[in-house]
Amino acid sequence: MKKLLLCLSVFAIVACKDEAPKDYVTLSGKIENKSSDSLFIYQGRTFSKTIKVNEDGTFTDTLKVAPGMYGVYDGNESTSLYLKNGYDLNLTLNTKEFDESIKFSGEGAEANNYLVEKALMQENLIEPSIFDLEEADFNAKVVELENEMNTFLDKNATALDSTLLANEKMQISQFKPGITGAYKQQQARAAQFASYIGKPSPNFDFENVKGGKTALTDLKGKYVYIDVWATWCGPCIREIPDLKKLEKDFHDKNIQFVSVSVDDGRGFKGDVAAAKEGWKKMIAEKELGGIQVISDNGWKSDFVQGFKINGIPRFILIDPAGNVVNADAPRPSSPKLREVLNNLENI
């Protein structure tokens, strides 16, 4: 009997050794409060796949991939994944708190939970107000941030395979030149936008979420703070809590808050009608105040083109006569904005 058991054990070991590694990824999970019937997995132009999400939010599928970083879209929200064949990865999230709720388990979870934690850390560390700093202060802050990133990577290096570790080191090496280039562009933009000051603003006449249309000229007699955004834009969405607080604090002042969406199908496979419904849904879910309008031609509308907007969020301040006060105003999360608004004449 013992000999038989020994033989069976040896057979089992040999069988395990002979089992070929999986040449695919298994990706499964559950989405609470799902905002779409599918997940879209992509890597630039080299890979894309749509995974069906069931009514109860569950999903499962297999993917054959090259090791690397991939994006995953759920409606207009997205996150990053590290995938390689052999992974058996389970993803759970709640769309009400998208980034904060993402959790991975199973084979490949360590690397992907690292990416989630890193994204949240960078979101907290890299404030948009960094671009408002004087050059010497900006340079010192960049060195501090670079050190934080290296420390975080060193702490988690054992959880990453050689491909992901090399990718993370490369990203950190590109951080300083990248953000410094963005800072210089911001300074150049500030000089360019100075030419708008005191001139009549380009007008808009856009669909209002409450019905009908609203034109910028309808708001003459009040200051107008304009937020140009989209539902798929993470930095735009992160400004919402500060914008809502600003609206509350200035509700009895001579200022109107207007949000102009440039949603044109991105995140909805180019479906403009679906994007508009997604815009309406987000306004309701996040209980957005102020005047909510949507650009009649996305990025190509006269208003958006008139202000040379090619990145969002973008904030614009108009005076009661309809002239530009600031074509690139501070964002709601910047303490500078309250200083600017409080110093306006007759607000």
Alpha helices in the chain (DSSP H): 2-18, 98-101, 109-125, 135-156, 162-193, 234-238, 240-249, 272-285, 302-306, 335-342
**pLDDT score for 19:** 58
> Which of the four pLDDT bands, split at 50, 70 and 90, describes residue 81?
very high
Say if 5 falls within a structural domain. no
Residue 118 lies in a domain: no
- Are 141 and 267 contained in the same domain? no
In a domain, 3, yes or no: no
Mark which of 176, 196, 216 sits at the end of a domain: 196
Residue 338 — pLDDT band, cuts 50, 70, 90? very high
SS3 271: coil
Same domain, 208 and 330: yes
For the chain, what is the domain count?
3
Query: 221 with 184, same domain?
Result: no
Domain extent for 300: 197-342
Residue 320 lies in a domain: yes
Partners of residue 83 on adjacent β-strands: 68
Query: Do 50 and 81 lie in a common domain?
Result: yes
Residue 219 falls inside a structural domain: yes
pLDDT at 20: 65
| Chain-centroid distance, C-alpha 286 | 16
pLDDT digits (tens, 9 = 90+) for 109-139: 999 999 999 999 988 888 877 888 899 999 9
71 domain residue, yes or no: yes
Please report, for the chain, how many H helices and E strands are present, in that order.
10, 15
Is 21 inside a domain boundary? yes
Per-residue pLDDT tens digits for 228-268? 999 989 889 989 999 999 999 999 999 999 999 999 887 67
CATH code of the domain in which 329 resides? 3.40.30.10
Write the CB contacts of 188 (distance below 8 Å, at least 6 apart in sequence): none
| Same domain? 202 vs 331 | yes
Above pLDDT 70, what percent of the chain?
93
Question: If we measure between CA atoms, which residue out of 49, 80, 81, 83 comes closest to residue 67?
Answer: 83
Is the predicted pLDDT of residue 10 greater than 80, yes or no? no
Statement to judge: residues 84 and 135 lie in one domain = no
Q: Is 1 domain-assigned?
A: no
Residues 22 and 51 in one domain: yes
| CATH number of the domain enclosing 29 | 2.60.40.1120
| Cross-strand bridge partners of residue 52 | 38
Q: Are residues 87 and 144 in the same domain?
A: no
pLDDT band with cut points at 50, 70 and 90 for residue 91: very high
